[in-house]
Every structure is written in structure tokens, then in C-alpha cells.
């Protein structure tokens, strides 16, 4: 493959702190030599770890990739809170801890945040309210009612001893969460349950869209590789999808490549990966209301 051909697939990047997710996309565009590049699940500049980058036709899968759980490790500090819920913002509340909270009290607060919960997104976030992002309101000194969102916390636990330092308590944690979870807000909410302001003071994403940090590559490392060596790091689309597969007959392929709905296949509550002549062509989704299969993703109609 030459550099003027479109590359389809995923690169799993280990983003360093100080970079935005868009910075990563920009560098990958230069490394790969194509514009059609996107990412699944934004990482704030002060957060490092797994950022899944989609290339070419794999950008169609970003919505699917973002539904998969994410895992983090990090640090929570009790005793102060900031406007951004992390160290990027100004301190808005501070209360020195005189008598340290017990391990049991802190762990009970964390346990209450496991399962399905509701969260209010931080004012410094990209959520839109009335067509305007929350961080735009915050930067203008405006307040606005923030929407309540549901999230599922699959596993949130303390992973270190609790240090008591200059009127503050600090501990490490691990969390695996659903799409739409504001991981910074977990720290704030834990503090509210305990009765103390809290801040997420360090955060690393260890898994994103099913890919672990051990599978991620540094951008600086990729920059040292030849184009052919970079392509070896790209994960093909067919290796990303986990749905059942179906090999298409000639007539079925004619229907699929023309985007036709199909009612003759057995009902299923899942998606189907559709192959023709050993090539992944499309993904169909079963529509329970109409009781037929319809096109969800098209990768190749030739």
C-alpha cells in the first residue's frame, strides 16, 4: 500500500499528558498521510492513556466503539474542590481535615457509587445546553441548569492506603465505567457522600473501547517507523467487530450492496457482519419493530 491510498482500521494510541485528543488526531493524520481520521472517547489534556484512533472507513464505528466500557486508574484528594473537578481549575472550596476519615467511611462512599448512578456534568465540559457548550457558559461567568445523565459504574474501588498530608487525604483508585460517565465527577460525588470537597488529582485511562494500555503505542514511537511499519500497527476493521458473521450468497450480496432491507433472515437481537468472497462488506442490524434487517454500516459495496 502506498501513502496516497486510504488506510482503514484502528490505531491504539497511548496519549501523553499535555496533548488534546485533537492534537493526537492531527499527528496521526501526518503519520498516515490522510485526512479521514477520528477518535473514540475524548481525553482531557491532563489525562494520559488509551485513545483509540479510527482511520478511513473505521470512522463509521466511532459511535459503536464509544459504547464499550472504559477503565481508569487515578488519584482522589479529599479536602478541596476546583471549578473543573481536576487540577486544571481554580480552587472553589477548601476544608482542612482535622480528624482523618476512616478507611471504612471512604470505602462506603465509593461503594455507593457502584452500579447505575446519575451525574451532573462539570461546567467545564463539552455538553451542550441550548446549543452552547457548558464550558462556554463557564468561561463567560454564566450559570445554567446542567442536565442529569445516567451512567453505569461497573467497578469503582480504592487500590491504595490513604495518606494524610497537610489536612488532606489522598488515595489511588481503579474504575471501569460505561459510556457517558464523567470520571472527574466520581471524585466530587464521593466527596459529597463523605461530606468533604474532593478533586480528581491524577487520571490515566488504562482501557478504551476494549483495548488495553499494553496494546497502545506512543506517537513518538510511531513517528520513528517507516510507513510500512506503521501500517503493521493498524488493527483491521474485521478484528474490531465481535458480532456474529454471515457469508452472503450472490443474491444476498446484490441486496446488501444496494442497501435493501431483508426479511428472510432469522430474527436476532444483535448485529450481523456480512462477508462476500471472504471480504467484510457491511453490518446489518435487526429492526424489532419492522421485523427485518436493515443496513447499519457499509464498508465496501463494490
Nearest Cα to Cα of residue 48 among 205, 214, 222: 205
Distance of CA 120 to the CA centre of its chain: 18
State the DSSP code for 8: -
Task: Please check whether residue 28 is in contact with residue 53, taking contact to mean a CB–CB distance below 8 angstroms.
Answer: yes
Distance of CA 139 to the CA centre of its chain: 25
Q: Measure the CA angle with vertex 12, ends 9 and 17; round to 5°.
A: 140
The C-alpha atoms of residue 151 and residue 298 are separated, in whole angstroms, by 30
Distance of CA 18 to the CA centre of its chain: 18
Catalytic residue among 8, 44, 48, 86: 44
Distance of CA 263 to the CA centre of its chain: 34
The C-alpha atoms of residue 292 and residue 255 are separated, in whole angstroms, by 13
Nearest Cα to Cα of residue 191 among 88, 115, 106: 106
The C-alpha atoms of residue 38 and residue 60 are separated, in whole angstroms, by 9
The C-alpha atoms of residue 45 and residue 12 are separated, in whole angstroms, by 17
Please list the alpha-helical segments (H only) found in 9-59.
21-32
Does the annotation mark 103 as catalytic?
no
Question: What are the catalytic residues?
Answer: 44
Amino acid at each position: 500500500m502506498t501513502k496516497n491510498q486510504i488506510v482503514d482500521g484502528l490505531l491504539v494510541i497511548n496519549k501523553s499528558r499535555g496533548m488534546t485528543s485533537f492534537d493526537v488526531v492531527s499527528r496521526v493524520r501526518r503519520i498516515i498521510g490522510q485526512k479521514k481520521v477520528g477518535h473514540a472517547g475524548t481525553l482531557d489534556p491532563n489525562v494520559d492513556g488509551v485513545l483509540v484512533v479510527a482511520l478511513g472507513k473505521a470512522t463509521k464505528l466511532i459511535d459503536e466503539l464509544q459504547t464499550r466500557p472504559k477503565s481508569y486508574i487515578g488519584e482522589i484528594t479529599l479536602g478541596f474542590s476546583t471549578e473543573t473537578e481536576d487540577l486544571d481549575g481554580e480552587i472553589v472550596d477548601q476544608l482542612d481535615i482535622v480528624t482523618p476519615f476512616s478507611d471504612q467511611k471512604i470505602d462506603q462512599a465509593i461503594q455507593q457509587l457502584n452500579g447505575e448512578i446519575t451525574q451532573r456534568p462539570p461546567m467545564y465540559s463539552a455538553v451542550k445546553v441550548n446549543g452552547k457548550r457548558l464550558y462556554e457558559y463557564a468561561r463567560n461567568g454564566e450559570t445554567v441548569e446542567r442536565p442529569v445523565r445516567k451512567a453505569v459504574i461497573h467497578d469503582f474501588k480504592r487500590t491504595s492506603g490513604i495518606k494524610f498530608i497537610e489536612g488532606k487525604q489522598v488515595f489511588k483508585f481503579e474504575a471501569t465505567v460505561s459510556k457517558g460517565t464523567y470520571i472527574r465527577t466520581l471524585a466530587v460525588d464521593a466527596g459529597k457522600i463523605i461530606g468533604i470537597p474532593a478533586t480528581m488529582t491524577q487520571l490515566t485511562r488504562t482501557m478504551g473501547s476494549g483495548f488495553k494500555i499494553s496494546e497502545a503505542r506512543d506517537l513518538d514511537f510511531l513517528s520513528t517507523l517507516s510507513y510500512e511499519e506503521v501500517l503493521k500497527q493498524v488493527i483491521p476493521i474485521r478484528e474490531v467487530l465481535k458480532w456474529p458473521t454471515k457469508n452472503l450468497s450472490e443474491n444476498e450480496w446484490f441486496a446488501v450492496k444496494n442497501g435493501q432491507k431483508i426479511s428472510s433472515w432469522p430474527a436476532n437481537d444483535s448485529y450481523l457482519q456480512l462477508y462476500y468472497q471472504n471480504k467484510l462488506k457491511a453490518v446489518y442490524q435487526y429492526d424489532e419493530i419492522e421485523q427485518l434487517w436493515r443496513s447499519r454500516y457499509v464498508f465496501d459495496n463494490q
